[in-house]
Chain A
Amino acid sequence: MALQSLDVRNVSARTSPPPSARTTLEVAKLIDVSRCIGCKACQSACMEWNDLRDEIGVNAGAYTNPPDLSDQSWTLMRFTEEEIDGQLRWLILKEGCLHCAEPGCLKACPAPGAIVQYASGIVDFHEEDCIGCGDCIAGCPFDIPRLSRRDSKVYKCTLCSDRVAVGLEPACVKTCPTMAISFGSKTDMRFAAEERLPDLRERGFAHAAVYDPPGVGGTHVLYVLPHGDRPEAYGLPRDPRLGGVLRLWRSGTARTAGVVTLFSVLVAGILHYMRRGPLEVPPERPGGKEA
């Protein structure tokens, strides 16, 4: 087997489970929003490490720049102004893939191998197998993947799977000057996040909370939100879920039942022909009556 750090837990559109005898440490990135100063060093580090260059756009009247995630911007500092408890608050969120334990993107994907979830918890797109249908975008509860106009493939944060595979932390983590981003095992990160809350509460953020939404099985990117009772204020969904429509649409059982039914119709046709023979015009007696 290849690198243990690249052991696979789940692959899009697979017909059989991947090798799973070995267990691997689950990793997580912890983003402590209360420590973030919005300097965008992580955004630049992401571009540098991944060799991405977004178009130079126009100022849309906010610090958020570029205005949205794209095939060239896999992480983005989202700035919002919100009135919370009668006070104007300037909120900053490092937006990007959350590496869900139960990824909607992977569930929605019809192309075998295009989306891979490593045993470490990292969800990675393998663009060489992507067919460009964009279903992952419809499947993601956080609206993260972006279809490139250049090559019709989807791109998003890889959690620096290439760095993590060889024991390095993601580029954004390495570069953050305030240490707002940390990286380690999921257990440790969850623990560190919880540890941060009493301090924040003492400082007046009574609703400080950890964002690790259970509707997607938890995530491998955790946020400490000072206003944890208002995740929407930061641009995060309150209760992200895959939802019944997606589950039904991509239900492996329903699809397999459909394929079995199609084969049954084929077999029924063959049996019918064998048993009943073709529908032929019977030989006619003079006068045109059936024999």
Chain B
Amino acid sequence: MTAPREEVLLRHGNATRVAHWAVAIAFVALFLSGLALFHPFFFWISALFGGGPFLRILHPFAGVALVLVFYPYAAAHLRDNRWLPVDGRWVRNMGAYMRNEHPDVGETHKYNAGQKLMYWSMIPILALLLLTGLLVWQPWIAPHVPAGVRRAAGLLHAVGAFVMFVGIGIHVYAAIWTKGSIDAMIRGTVSGAWARFHHPAWYREMTGREPR
């Protein structure tokens, strides 16, 4: 049966979109402020935050805000990110998928395996960043933490932040690369054709119609 033209599906509800962009804005603040602290090459970024001291004050609050929004968001979308047998097929065809060769990756549900890997990697990385960030937080917590622990926490925070920079960098690129997905996160909707092509199993769940 041919699907009606101009078919539109709701992909991300209002709460999801607001939460996601709150996380994204907090991340941009953390990325820029973290980068200024990460390497003196980027210290000029502190001017965007009204100088080094205020950047240093703001950063941990932005981090805590990100974590407070991210984990409820992630919990609400846990079901859609469970690992399914079909996901192995996406992983095996990942090279061809990225070369834009449209390999047969099986019937993807709401999120493909790449998205799920991003989702699951962020859960421990943000836990690490939260824990280590809290340990070096002046003037509240750090004074009660031994110097050796703070050095180790500082090191792990920098490593964790680096991994997150690369991970979210790939996430953002994937969003730009996959036409229609940023619209999906802004307006909440995708076309039926988009859903059939990228997430056929999700299309079936949503509409009860066959994707092909």
Contacts and interface: CB of A to CB of B under 8 A. Distances in A.
Contacts of B165: 262
Contact of B179 (A139, A258, A278, A290): A278
Interface in B20-69: 37-43, 46, 52-53, 55-57
B173 A243 contact: no
Interface of B: 2-3, 37-43, 46, 52-53, 55-57, 98-100, 102, 136, 138-139, 142-143, 147-148, 150-152, 154-155, 158, 162, 165-166, 169-170, 173, 176-180, 191, 193-194, 196-198, 211-212
Given A131-B53, A259-B41, 4 more contacts: A110-B37, A110-B38, A245-B148, A279-B179
Given A132-B138, A279-B179, A288 B169 contact: no
8 contacts: A147-B143, A152-B53, A246-B151, A265-B166, A272-B173, A278-B178, A281-B198, A288-B196
A131 B155 contact: no
A249 B100 contact: no
Nearest to B170: A265
Interface of A: 13-15, 108, 110-112, 129-135, 137-140, 143, 147, 149, 152, 243, 245-246, 248-249, 255-256, 258-259, 261-262, 265-266, 269, 272-273, 276-282, 284, 286-290
Contacts of B42: 259
A137 B147 contact: yes
A278 B177 CA distance: 5
A83 B188 CA distance: 75
Given A258-B162, A265-B170, A138 B52 contact: no
A138 B102 contact: no
Contact of B40 (A112, A143, A279, A289): A112
Contact of B197 (A129, A130, A281): A281
